[in-house]
Structure formats: structure tokens, C-alpha cells
Amino acid sequence: MRSQLSILYEDRDLIAINKPAGLLSVGSGKGKEPHALGILRDQLSRRNKSVKLWPAHRIDRDTSGVLLFATSREMREAVMRRWKVAEKTYLAIVEGCPKPAEGTIDQPLRLDPKIYQMRVGSHPDAKHAVTHFTTERTVGLRTLLRVELETGRQHQIRAHLAWSGHPVVGDQRYGTAGTRLGLHALRLGIAKPGTNKSLVIETPPPVGFLELLR
């Protein structure tokens, strides 16, 4: 079991970590599987620092990268109120070569609870979702995209890119098999609530990530 997480940013109100792929952001309620929230709490307690933590957002189990926690419920709620205007940048390795090389996917999403998968398209239960993408480079039959989220729906990048015909590499739920998911939360930029301070937190993709690009 992993006992130490890389802390990217820390102050009295917010803590950001580099979540590795394969680790839940928070507990699932279905067992005692390790999760980032619990590991970080234990890690801080070993520093004689008793801190309460609330997830400001979540990233999927198989997605690596920036994950932000608040040290109070009030700060978490303040961050969530600003979430729509926060900078949320990902790297995604997809199958094929999107044409045009950059664009916007503006398609509503809704969760199909029977298969725990997001459906794309108009529906009374669907929520507004917008994803912007830019091609970084193409190697062979795969492409590295820089993705900016205007909204932050569950599985948004994965569902939108699969709908466009270019599923994320290794995304068994939405299209392709593989050893790991080609999705990394690269950068989070947010104006810290209660201050004039702009926080920009970034972490490069893990070793082996770009090897998926071939």
C-alpha cells in the first residue's frame, strides 16, 4: 500500500497532491481500498499535523495528476463556487488523429446508472458540458492532446473524446483496451478564495505516460 504522496502545494487552507494513476481520490464506500484522501490524512498526521480534509474535486481512479483538497468545509465550498472559471488542463493520448487539429466539443452529458457510463446528447437529465482540445503532436496512430475543461462533469473528457471518434488510449469503459489510461491532470489554476492570490499548480505526466504515444 502506498504510504506517501507527493505534495505539490500546501498552505493553511489548501493542499494539492500529485495523485498516481490507479488510486481512488476518495473512498468508494464499498470497502477498505486505499484512497488519496486517507493516505494524505495519515501522511500529515505523521508530521504531527492533525488536519481535516475535504476534496475540492475528484479525478478518476486511473487518471494521474493534480488533486486539490481543502482544510475546511467552508474553503471547499468557496473553491467549488469558483470551479467553473478555474483553469483545468489535462493531457490526453487518444486513438487516431483528430481533424481539425483543435476544436470544442459542446455536448451535454448524463449518467446511465445501469452501466455507470456517461451518455452524450440531449436528454432531460443531461447537463451542459464543454471541452476544448488542441493537438500537441501525432505519432503513428495516436495523438497527444492538450485539453481544457470549461465545465467539470464526471468522465467528461473520456466521454466527449470517445463520442468524437477518438477515445482515450486504455479507456476500457469508453472504447479501447490498454495497460493504463492515457489521461493526466496537468495543471490547475484558481483564484484562492478570500485573497487576491492566483494559484497555479502543475505536475508533469508520470514516467511511461508518453510511451503510450506511438
List the alpha helices (DSSP H) in the chain. Answer: 36-45, 73-81, 156-163
Cβ atoms of 199 and 192 within 8 Å: the answer is yes
What integer pLDDT is reported at residue 214 of this predicted model? 80
Identify the DSSP state of 168: B
How many whole angstroms separate alpha carbon 180 and alpha carbon 157?
16
Residues 64, 57: Cα–Cα separation, whole Å: 14
Asked if residue 74 belongs to a domain, the reply is: yes
Query: Using the 8-state DSSP alphabet, how is residue 205 labeled?
Result: P
Asked whether the bond before 108 is cis by omega within 30 degrees of 0, the reply is no
Q: Tell me if residue 11 is catalytic.
A: no
CATH number at 81 reads: 3.30.2350.10
Query: Is residue 190 within 8 Å of residue 149, measured between CB atoms?
Result: no
Q: How many domains are contained in the chain? A: 1
For position 3, what pLDDT does the model report? Answer: 72
Q: In a structure prediction context, what are the per-residue pLDDT tens digits for the chain, which is 214 residues long?
A: 567 999 999 999 999 999 999 999 998 766 688 999 999 999 998 887 678 999 999 999 999 999 999 999 999 999 999 998 999 999 999 999 999 999 999 999 999 988 889 999 999 989 999 999 999 999 999 999 999 999 999 999 999 999 999 999 999 999 888 889 999 999 999 999 988 789 999 999 999 999 999 8
Tell me if 77 is assigned to some domain: yes
Instruction: Output the pLDDT for position 31.
Output: 67
Task: Give the predicted TM-score (pTM) of the model.
Answer: 0.93
* Catalytic one of 11, 13, 60, 62: 60
Structural domain includes residue 1:
no
Long-range CB contacts for residues 43-48, cutoff 8 Å, separation at least 24: 43/3, 43/4, 43/5, 44/15
Q: How far is CA 12 from CA 45, 143, 151, 191, in A?
A: 15, 40, 27, 15
Strand partners, 15: 10, 69
Range of the domain at 157: 6-212
- Alpha-carbon distance of 136 to 190, in angstroms, equals 24
**Residue 2, pLDDT score:** 66
Query: Of the candidates 166, 209, 213, which has an alpha carbon nearest to the alpha carbon of residue 22?
Result: 209
Decide: 154 and 113 in contact? Cβ < 8 Å.
no
**CA diameter of the chain:** 53
- Give the model's pLDDT for residue 140: 94
pLDDT at 207: 94
In a domain, 109, yes or no: yes
